[in-house]
Structure 1
Amino acid sequence: MTSKHETPSTELPLPPDDEPRLVPALGFFAALAVVIGTVIGSGIFFKPQQVASAVGDSIALMLVLWGGCGLVNLCGALAMAELAAMLPHTGGNYVYLREAYGRLWAFLWVWAEFWVMRSGAIAALAAALALAIKNLLLTSGHASMSPAAERTVIIVAIALLGVVNVAGVHWGGLVQTVTTVIKAGFLALLGMLPFWVVGSDALADAASLAVNDGVSDVVPTPEFWSHSGVIALGTALGAIMWAYDGWGQVTVVAEEVEQPRRQIPWALCVGVLLLTALYMGANWAFYTTLTAEQLANSDIAAVPVLEKLLPGFGERLTLAMLMISVFGALNANVLVGPRVLYAASRDHRLLAPLRRIDPRTGTPAIAIVVLCGWSIVLVLLADLSAAPDERLFDKLTGYVIFGGSIFYLAAVVAVYVLRRKMPDAPRPYRTWGYPWVPGVFVVAYVGLLASMLLAGPIEAFSGLVLILLGAVAYAVIGRRQHEQA
């Protein structure tokens, strides 16, 4: 326990004056763009279909699930904001897990991040970008892309954003801000368009009927708690949580945010609120324009909606917005991911090369190159092993979300741990509603993990095996560092 006047764990020693440092070049709106832009990527375009397959025609249950998951993530953001204000260091969850549970937990996080979670997210987003380009070419009358061309698009996209982010955090932040404004505006338009085109009275009548018909589905029935019902719920929740995944990533770049103790808590809370509003509006448009069967059978959720509302133009508009949306989310992951490796390199001598900051650009260039390189390898491996009837996107996200949820849960629990372990550490922001608000997130995530375990046992088991392998690697690295000391 730290004393009242000594709080060494909340401060990091500065590097020598002649050693390059990370540059605090991200203001509030850039930080907000990281929160929103990391989340709004491919999920809102590809995941509502899975939710529709699971919940059927009940618009009420759909709203409860999307709104409820937004509320759960807001509770998590309110808790994470306390950690970010107390420990505004590069690494985010890596730092929080290390301070709360020790270096093993922190290493397991960076281990899973590198091998599957972050690289898997980059791979999934790049695959979604290639799919959007392929579909846009088809709708424009051009020939379809071959598998080799799709792989080339994936590799070029990842490499291009790697170069942009090596060039400077301000360039990555600029790409993030511009793409976030465009895609958030598109989702807002999507939510409002049915009222303009169909008419508010007709839409209100249809929506009222749909809600009244679906209200009974919100109340759990015996069938709801059956094995198949729980699996369907787990599938829906896993899909929704992937669509919300990423709101905490701004904490990873804390040292590159101006006034991080103040800006990051605001960016987290405002960002999650805006995301929940945008997602509920978009799904309202989906369910009041299409039947659940039409939505479930669509490849990209917004395409049939906008084709119905804007005939002859809606599909191309959706695919263009999907490209921008995925490109922005891909950029966010390339911006954020290497900073986790950089944070780990501060603690482990064997990872020291990843700590190098480019003296010209102030970015962790080697960490960026290493993560982008492994992401490209993972895309190629996943593509080769994908089953013919399973999209590469769904295959990759299935592995990412379960492992990520474990560590998100542990990070929020760290709020309780550090309140006891470091009671006198400076906390510019304290979690509103503590201890109940973080508790909502914890209980919800325990239930989410259980339902996902039933819905996707192979993915869940693979994630757990990966974490256990990380523990073995930690022991080996620790032994080698001890021998070199």
Structure 2
Amino acid sequence: MGFKSFISPIWLHRPSLPSSNTILTVGLLSGICLIVGTMIGSGIFISPKSVLLYSGSVGPCLLIWTACGVLSTLGALCYAELGTMITKSGGEYPYLMEAFGSIVAYLYSWTTVIVLKPSSFAIITLSFAEYTATPFYPGCTPPTVIIKCLAIASLLIIVAINCISVKLASYVQNFFTAAKLVIILVIVVAGIVLLAQGKTQNLSNAFDGSSMSFGAIGLAFYNGLWAYDGWNQLNFITEELRNPYRNLPLAIIIGIPLVTVCYVLVNIAYFTVLTPSELLVSPAVAVTFGDRVLYPLSWIVPLFVAFSTFGAANGSCFTAGRLAFVSGREGHMVKILSYVSLRRYTPSPALIFNGILSLFYIIPADINSLINYFSFAQWAFYGLTALSVIVMRFTRKELHRPVRVRPVERD
């Protein structure tokens, strides 16, 4: 019995993922939760101090958080035009294919499938493991072997969830997105109460000590944009999105400004309790905030940070498998990656392949080295994809554009 005949009762090589008339599609709410849940990971709870460090003071720090949200929204609007013009899953891959040809798409697919997506998945699961293990080792750093074992266990659970069912993965994403929005709401409300009580001393003279160095401001933006990463995730599952012409741009317009408002308000809340110098030396800003404001319920902060990172990891896995699936379908990856389960309608081989690669990144590396490995190439492809919007205005004028990004025309 050949390999193909062995897998034929279970797997089917399909030209696309399940169509929008099945129950396995992703609706508007799940789309918003995917964007919000993937963008809000551990960054806003753990390390906003990097933006403060390079910006120099509170005022520029808050402005940079806001500007990063605006930049992410503008980039996502370009993706909204691309996603409604070319309704294929795989994120940047089909857009680069149409704009620049198969060579650029081939390079992108291999770079992203082999490096970017697995390393991102590994970063988030390592973050989850670190802040899950910390409460069990008070006063010291958890052993590295414990962190990596927890990261691997969470990775295997997430891959299994995504292989079992699209609906189950969507429900998990929705739940953990709701959980992280709850803790953000708690922090924001606590900040508003403290502001009403007159805790504004850290927000006065907000621009004293600002850094005017172009390099420092650039590094502040770099760290802020890292916290916003994930705004493009819905484009990876366009074929599974119900009514993409409506729901894709609407999810973007709702999701990214929501995250921007949350990030700015959370940072303001931090500054009602912590001075800039205290924030810079805090290893986990949200945990420090919780210890000072929410005691004796401060334990909810690390718990919800774990929820947040788990949800972000689930979103990363959910979308990563789709890129491997689409590139396999186009012949740029091995053909088995383009197979879909007949029983569950999930691209399980692609999901498992992404999980295996992520395991290799977890074992030898730490979070900081993975971020450095990941970020530069990722933003280079973001810029190239945004450029494809302009290129296809000239080369593919015949394509229908339900959403068109353009400046306001004056009479």
Fold similarity call, TM over 0.5: yes
Partner of 1:360: 343
**Count of residues in correspondence between the two structures:** 392
Correspondence list, 1:452-471, <5 A: none
Partner of 2:40: 40
* Residue 214 in structure 1 maps to residue 228 in structure 2: no
C-alpha separation in 1, matches of 2:195 and 2:208: 27
Q: Which moved more, 1:350-359 or 1:243-252?
A: 350-359
Q: Identify the match of residue 296 of structure 1 among 277, 280, 286.
A: 280
* Residue 258 in structure 1 maps to residue 242 in structure 2: yes
* Residue 22 in structure 1 maps to residue 17 in structure 2: yes
C-alpha separation in 2, matches of 1:345 and 1:407: 20
C-alpha separation in 2, matches of 1:190 and 1:434: 37
Partner of 1:186: 183
Task: Quote how far apart the aligned CAs of 1:32 are.
Answer: 0.6
Partner of 1:431: 405
What runs of 5+ residues in structure 1 fail to find an aligned partner?
A: 1-17, 383-391, 436-485
Output one character per residue of 1:322-365: Cα deviation in whole Å (capped at 9) or x when no partner. Answer: 10000000000110001101111122165211001011110111
Task: Quote how far apart the aligned CAs of 1:146 are.
Answer: 3.4
C-alpha separation in 2, matches of 1:70 and 1:367: 31
Partner of 1:310: 294
RMSD over aligned Cα atoms: 2.0
SS at 1:214 equivalent:
coil
Output one character per residue of 1:143-169: Cα deviation in whole Å (capped at 9) or x when no partner. Answer: 975332222211111111111000111
Task: Quote how far apart the aligned CAs of 1:201 are.
Answer: 4.5
Correspondence list, 1:311-330, <5 A: 311-314=295-298, 316-330=299-313
Partner of 1:243: 227
Q: Identify the match of residue 401 of structure 1 among 371, 375, 378.
A: 375
The answer to whether the 8 Å contact 2:106/2:332 transfers is no
* Residue 331 in structure 1 maps to residue 305 in structure 2: no
Partner of 1:348: 331
C-alpha separation in 2, matches of 1:434 and 1:83: 19
What letter matches 1:27 in structure 2? G
Output one character per residue of 1:153-205: Cα deviation in whole Å (capped at 9) or x when no partner. Answer: 11111111111000111111111111111102221221221222x351403x4
Partner of 2:5: none
Correspondence list, 1:16-415, <5 A: 22-23=17-18, 24=20, 25-56=25-56, 58-139=57-138, 145-196=142-193, 198-203=194-199, 205-206=200-201, 210-211=203-204, 213-215=205-207, 221=212, 224-225=213-214, 230=215, 232-314=216-298, 316-348=299-331, 351-382=334-365, 392-415=366-389
What letter matches 2:374 in structure 1? V
SS at 1:247 equivalent:
coil
Output one character per residue of 1:57-84: Cα deviation in whole Å (capped at 9) or x when no partner. Answer: x211011110011111111111111111
Distance 1:300 1:253, change over 3 A: same
SS at 1:83 equivalent:
helix
What letter matches 1:410 in structure 2? L
Give TM-score, length-normalised by structure 2. Answer: 0.90
C-alpha separation in 1, matches of 2:396 and 2:264: 38
What letter matches 2:125 in structure 1? A
The answer to whether the 8 Å contact 1:78/1:432 transfers is no
C-alpha separation in 2, matches of 1:340 and 1:184: 28
C-alpha separation in 1, matches of 2:201 and 2:333: 62
C-alpha separation in 1, matches of 2:337 and 2:278: 48
Distance 1:288 1:432, change over 3 A: farther
- Higher fraction of helix: 1
What letter matches 1:44 in structure 2? I
C-alpha separation in 2, matches of 1:217 and 1:429: 43
Output one character per residue of 1:368-406: Cα deviation in whole Å (capped at 9) or x when no partner. Answer: 111101101111121xxxxxxxxx222211221111100
Task: Quote how far apart the aligned CAs of 1:109 are.
Answer: 1.7
Give TM-score, length-normalised by structure 1. Answer: 0.77
Identity %: 26
The answer to whether the 8 Å contact 2:41/2:124 transfers is yes
The answer to whether the 8 Å contact 2:321/2:347 transfers is yes
SS at 2:341 equivalent:
coil
What letter matches 1:370 in structure 2? F
The answer to whether the 8 Å contact 2:191/2:270 transfers is no
The answer to whether the 8 Å contact 2:38/2:311 transfers is yes
Task: Quote how far apart the aligned CAs of 1:233 are.
Answer: 2.6
C-alpha separation in 1, matches of 2:115 and 2:83: 24
Distance 1:261 1:147, change over 3 A: same
